[in-house]
Amino acid sequence: MRGYFDTKIEFLKGVGPQKSALLNKELGIFTFGDLLQHYPFRYEDRTQFFNIGDLTDALSNVQIRGSLFQMETIGAGRKKRMTAQLRDDTGQVELVWFKGIKWVQKKLQPGVEYVIFGKPTRYGKKLNIAHPEIEVFTPAHQQSGYLQPVYHTSEVLKSKFLDSKAISKLQKQLLIQALPKVAETLPDEMLYRMGLMSKMEALQHIHFPKDQRYLQKARWRLKFEELFYVQLRLLKLKLARVDKFRSKAFNETALINTFYHQHLPFDLTNAQKKVIKEIYRDMRSGNQMNRLLQGDVGSGKTVVAFICMLTIIGGGSQAAIMAPTEILAEQHYRGLQEYTDKLGLEIGLLTGSTKKKARRELHEKLENGSLDILVGTHALLEDPVKFKSLGLAVIDEQHRFGVAQRAKLWGKNDQFFPHVLVMTATPIPRTLAMTLYGDLDVSVLDELPPGRKPIETVHRYDTNRLKVFGFIKRQIDLGRQVYIVYPLIEESAKMDLKHLEDGYESIQRAFPKLPISIVHGRMKSRDKDYEMQRFVKAETKIMVATTVIEVGVNVPNASVMIIENAERFGLAQLHQLRGRVGRGADQSYCILMTNFKISKEGRTRIDTMVRTNNGFEIADVDLRLRGPGDLMGTQQSGVLDLLIADLSQDGKLLQVARQEAQQLLQEDPDLTDTKNHHIRRQVAQQRQTDINWSRIS
């Protein structure tokens, strides 16, 4: 029956080739199945009539009934409008039209009873309804109200008479012939146990619900099904990876014990201990580990990764850690070198700046096995980089790398599949992690090391700038350093925003005796690194920058982060920028600068940053504000093309769907049981990707 739903939309009565081409281009509707799954995004309530005397401008769209009288045309030219009064037993309201006046004059008759639908608004002292939907009242309106579906359309489609109502008519026509052909996609036992309506009923009531109760049941059924099959696919990939991709079992702990008891300069948090146990359990299993490590800025991901490397090195293999920038790679290298020197291990750094001679020596040591750990950037992916035995690939800030790049590092061992640990300091909401990384094991560092003082975040308006400068001066007098971040490099005619060039000049005027660094994305890498190193060495006290410093600068002495036009930044970016301070023992501060004109969403972001330092709480707010597609960017858009479920609202349902998928695969991993024939057929019809990217995160 799949063939019927693959029928091109142009063959639906009333569509044809021209409208079909528009539906293809504007809404991505190519087939009967696409149209059926073009679900309404809201519904207009036609189930009740309001009395005119009860109307207020606080109401949204309302349905009223009354007789027309006193119809007149007012004004001329562009100011021409038509008005009519509608009355019932409780009062009267004015209807007004600014366009289509000739049609209204021809269509509407005084004294006739009409049903009106629209939004009451106040104009002066009286209410009116502009451009209402209007139709003659019939006994059918009294007998049964309904929820009218509202569909996404476009201005182009509306101009070709394909507005929401026209799409609704197409849906009604298609449903009549399509519903008998709809196959069930979930087992009868699951439908009964979970109280789900059938697929056929769900499609009927998602488009034309009898009432709110039927609508909610239809939504629940279709959302559950969509999330269930997403999770089932991810979990099947995970099972396949565990089954097919074997690795080397590592269970040597001597190096770890030496490091932990003799050289670790601080106590691990309980979260770090828990994650290390999870990773160790993976690496000793003989299955290839593929784990995502989430942890807020400063939660101690690097030391966790190093302890895992010691397990690999103790087992006779090598480890690599890949970072997105040279500065971050150098930072990892210097930090880890303190530990490797104490343990007598060999560590190397490979970046685009590494000289030929040093590069050749690194290649030799890698191939003969004398180099235990290689830290680097994309340079690690180059063909001449060959390991004797790569046992663990650690990828930091994994979202900065493409999947194919990660795969190339993972493929640098032809003896066995290396274990993979991908790390991110960008907290991912649980619902997104379960969907984007549902085939990975996820570990979370949700605890900061003891002694770290929470960053104090405040909101200040531009009018407070002199006080902010005074605060900067006091912090610098105490020996601290300051970041000042701007959204733009130079002035823009389109946006009234603070920009770096002007900001740099004003900071120079305010602090004429202080050396200042300036860093932005148009600078050559050499110049950028030079300025950053001056700041790292405290040769400059203030760094004026764009968001290029979001990742990769670790300056414990920097205690103040000032973000200009903070309302223009996303929550994740604000949180990352704030994470550049608070790395030392001193109290740190983040000052969010804005003008008085802030959007509602901008205000929510600012208030969230001031209220909490918890990255996961911030990520949840970001998900609600932006939605999953915008949050993760275009790289993940294919995974997030959900038709009806919404990860920002359906977190509980997602967990239910995942649990059901897990239970099903535990009982019937190959889907061979007769009762699961609906699921087996549906899985077979789902589009398969060419490459199983899941095994390389």
pLDDT band at 450, cuts 50/70/90? confident
The span from the CA of 368 to the CA of 410, in Å, is: 19
Class of domain 254-285+300-424: alpha beta
Question: Which ranges constitute the DSSP H helices of 37-152?
Answer: 101-107, 139-143
DSSP character string of 3-21: HHHTSBGGGSTTTHHHHHH
- What is the side-by-side order of every strand in the sheet holding 113-118? 120-123, 126-130, 91-97, 81-88, 62-74, 113-118, 133-136
413-448: per-residue pLDDT in tens?
878 888 989 888 777 777 777 776 666 788 888 887
The span from the CA of 318 to the CA of 468, in Å, is: 50
- Within 390-461, strands assigned E span 390-395, 419-424, 441-445, 456-461
Range scoring the smallest mean pLDDT among 196-210, 544-558, 591-605: 544-558
The span from the CA of 82 to the CA of 148, in Å, is: 27
Range scoring the smallest mean pLDDT among 164-173, 352-361, 646-655, 679-688: 679-688
| Nearest alpha carbon to residue 337 among 364, 375, 365, 301 | 375
Burial string for 110-138 (b: 16+ CB within 10 Å, else e) reads eeeebbbbbebeeeeeebbbeebebeebe
Average pLDDT of the residues of the chain:
85
Looking from the CA of 185 toward its CB, the CA atoms found within 13 Å total 23
| Nearest alpha carbon to residue 328 among 656, 551, 594 | 551
The span from the CA of 484 to the CA of 563, in Å, is: 6
| Chain center to CA of 332 | 28
Tokens standing for 174? 């298609």
Residue identified by tokens 């979970």 is 194
Q: Report CA dihedral (297, 629, 549, 570) to the nearest 10 degrees.
A: -90
The pLDDT of residue 403 is 60
Q: Which residues contact 611 (CB under 8 A, 6 or more apart)?
A: none
The span from the CA of 276 to the CA of 475, in Å, is: 38
Tokens standing for 408? 């190339």
Phi and psi torsions of 141, nearest 5°: -60, -35
Are 665 and 235 a contacting pair, CB within 8 Å? yes
Range scoring the smallest mean pLDDT among 386-390, 437-441, 569-573: 437-441
Mean pLDDT in residue range 441-465: 86
Three state DSSP letters for 141-160: HHHCCCEEEECCCCHHHHHC
Out of 127-136, 467-476, 518-527, 614-623, the most confident range is: 467-476
The pLDDT of residue 409 is 74
Biggest CA–CA distance in the chain, Å, is: 98
| Domain extents in the chain | 66-138, 254-285+300-424, 456-612
Mean pLDDT in residue range 536-543: 90
Tokens standing for 239? 């099972």
The pLDDT of residue 495 is 45
Q: Has residue 378 got a pLDDT over 90?
A: no
Residue identified by tokens 């269930």 is 228
Are 204 and 171 a contacting pair, CB within 8 Å? no
Q: Tell me the fold of 66-138.
A: OB fold (Dihydrolipoamide Acetyltransferase, E2P) (2.40.50)
Looking from the CA of 384 toward its CB, the CA atoms found within 13 Å total 10
Q: Tell me the fold of 456-612.
A: Rossmann fold (3.40.50)
Q: Has residue 123 got a pLDDT over 80?
A: yes
The pLDDT of residue 142 is 64
Q: Report, in angstroms and rounded to the nearest whole number, the Rg of the chain calculated over CA atoms.
A: 31
Mean pLDDT in residue range 580-602: 88
Mean pLDDT in residue range 455-481: 93
DSSP character string of 561-577: EEETTGGGS-HHHHHHH
Mean pLDDT in residue range 466-479: 93
The pLDDT of residue 38 is 95
The pLDDT of residue 690 is 37
pLDDT band at 552, cuts 50/70/90? low
Mean pLDDT in residue range 251-272: 90
Q: Which residues contact 153 (CB under 8 A, 6 or more apart)?
A: 26, 27, 162, 163, 164, 167
pLDDT band at 474, cuts 50/70/90? very high
The pLDDT of residue 316 is 92
The pLDDT of residue 688 is 47
Residue identified by tokens 């997030």 is 640
pLDDT band at 138, cuts 50/70/90? confident
The span from the CA of 453 to the CA of 556, in Å, is: 12
234-244: per-residue pLDDT in tens?
888 878 777 77
Mean pLDDT in residue range 317-333: 88
- On the question of a common fold for 254-285+300-424 and 456-612, the answer reads yes
pLDDT band at 605, cuts 50/70/90? very high
The pLDDT of residue 691 is 38
* pTM > 0.75: yes or no: no
Q: Has residue 228 got a pLDDT over 90?
A: yes
Tokens standing for 623? 């998900």
16-43: per-residue pLDDT in tens?
999 999 999 999 999 999 999 999 999 9
- Count Cβ atoms within 10 A of the Cβ of residue 624 and give its class: 0-12 exposed, 13-18 middle, 19 or more buried: middle
Q: Give the angle 558-560-563 at the CA atoms, nearest 5°.
A: 125
The percent of residues above 70 in pLDDT, for the chain, comes to 90
pLDDT band at 221, cuts 50/70/90? very high
